[in-house]
Structure 1
């Protein structure tokens, strides 16, 4: 009759050991690892005609972020739309234009890498840090909203064309930065409601914001937005205090 008691004690001890092992495994262990994010960014950089003529003057700079269709291929792809397309066609801008390429066909922009590139170009050229402008279309427009929240003191003005606009971003954007939003009301890729809601929220919070809502236009609203000379005149008028 003693055997069952011995077996019971052995089972109890085994259960205690098992519980002790689980407790040890669930302990929070503090540790730290240093990561390095390396990104290979190809880019175009445009200098206005005046840049070489007036060597004492600091110029503004427009950072342009393209859409998903120009990602991951040859850098020539980014000449298809936006300011790079206009430059190929012979348009002149009063400021530098920096146009990097997203190297990943199916990934979002690496905004940290973009800012490192931007800072490097600013430091090695005669660029006024008070006159750095930001614009992007579609996936690049979404990245522009993200950059405006992560680096709220960097940009003097921002124009977003048909980009996704997470509403909580509104609370992180610098109120001193003027914003111009463009979107087509027939956009089936990124709904115009993304911009509708963001613009309404920013107006409610008394931001300096303009909204151009194209009637009957689909996702390709950038073909109208970037051929609007008023946009570049507006950019060139902006300066951070």
Structure 2
């Protein structure tokens, strides 16, 4: 029994070290605009040089990772980009902003009394404060001399998947490609970016939190307006379709191969 406890303690210690190392790769930053602040983490490529140019990836987390600790947003997705092999193969700058608990990436009315949740997207009333802050951050960051402007990407899951579709609508000229996992959006907005931005949409067929029909509707609208999106529907996945999506062997190869049209 004593040996088992010792092994468990060692496992917990190594796990804590791994988490700390993960967080250390993503530096803590704060973006300020007027009275508003946006906390975010940023990871630069190995051997980063301001005299070179790099692709940029913006990742939008889900509702469960909202807060003000500038930490929880790294729970899903950060390891995909910080993996040693991936960092070596795809040198890039990766940004993980954190949405406050009281806000949402997307302008949407959420009804959690139903399952899947009810969602009514109201883009016409303007972006949320958090979306405004992310756009302002990206507007400023994209002007840095070390940013490869033709290779700026965005992706996200759940609430972040919704934010991905919305930021494409609000900044169609900025992004070369995007991936949206278990998200949704306003299909009417797709005409703004459908034929300009390459997309890969993911969803779980068994999702009982965010209806997979929302992704189907977005893909249909993108096709209608001239886009040619990838669409992967996982027959056995529930809301955690980010697990098989992040495990897709060609996801990063596909993403980083895209340049602005």
**TM-score (normalised: structure 1):** 0.77
Which shows bigger deviation, 42-51 or 138-147? 42-51
Which of 221, 232, 256 aligns to 1:201? It is 221
Aligned twin of 2:45: 48
Alpha-carbon spacing, 1:240–1:101, altered in 2? closer, same or farther (3 Å): same
Q: Please, what is the CA RMSD of the aligned residues?
A: 1.9
| TM-fit CA distance, 1:173 | 1.9
Matched residue SS, 2:231: strand
Which of 89, 95, 99 aligns to 2:96? It is 99
| TM-fit CA distance, 1:89 | 5.5
2 CA distance for matches of 1:196 and 1:208? 13
Q: Do structure 1's residue 218 and structure 2's residue 238 form an aligned pair? A: yes
Aligned twin of 1:16: none
1 CA distance for matches of 2:72 and 2:103? 17
Which of 158, 166, 187 aligns to 1:167? It is 187
1 CA distance for matches of 2:166 and 2:139? 17
1:123-142 alignment, distance < 5 Å: 123-124=143-144, 126-142=146-162
Which of 104, 126, 142 aligns to 1:108? It is 104
Q: Do structure 1's residue 86 and structure 2's residue 80 form an aligned pair? A: yes
Aligned twin of 1:39: 36
Which of 147, 162, 179 aligns to 2:167? It is 147
**TM-score (normalised: structure 2):** 0.72
Alpha-carbon spacing, 1:87–1:134, altered in 2? closer, same or farther (3 Å): closer
| TM-fit CA distance, 1:165 | 2.0
1 CA distance for matches of 2:61 and 2:145? 23
Aligned twin of 2:55: 60
2 CA distance for matches of 1:230 and 1:45? 23
Alpha-carbon spacing, 1:144–1:215, altered in 2? closer, same or farther (3 Å): same
| TM-fit CA distance, 1:39 | 2.5
| TM-fit CA distance, 1:206 | 2.4
- Per-residue CA distance 1:56-89 (angstroms, 9 max, x = gap): 431110000000010014222112101x133565
2 CA distance for matches of 1:205 and 1:130? 22
Q: Do structure 1's residue 240 and structure 2's residue 260 form an aligned pair? A: yes
Aligned twin of 2:3: none
1 CA distance for matches of 2:238 and 2:133? 31
Higher alpha-carbon Rg? 1
Structure 1 unaligned residues grouped into runs of 5+: 1-35
Query: In the comparison of the two structures, how many residue pairs are matched?
Result: 202
Alpha-carbon spacing, 1:185–1:116, altered in 2? closer, same or farther (3 Å): same
Alpha-carbon spacing, 1:57–1:88, altered in 2? closer, same or farther (3 Å): closer
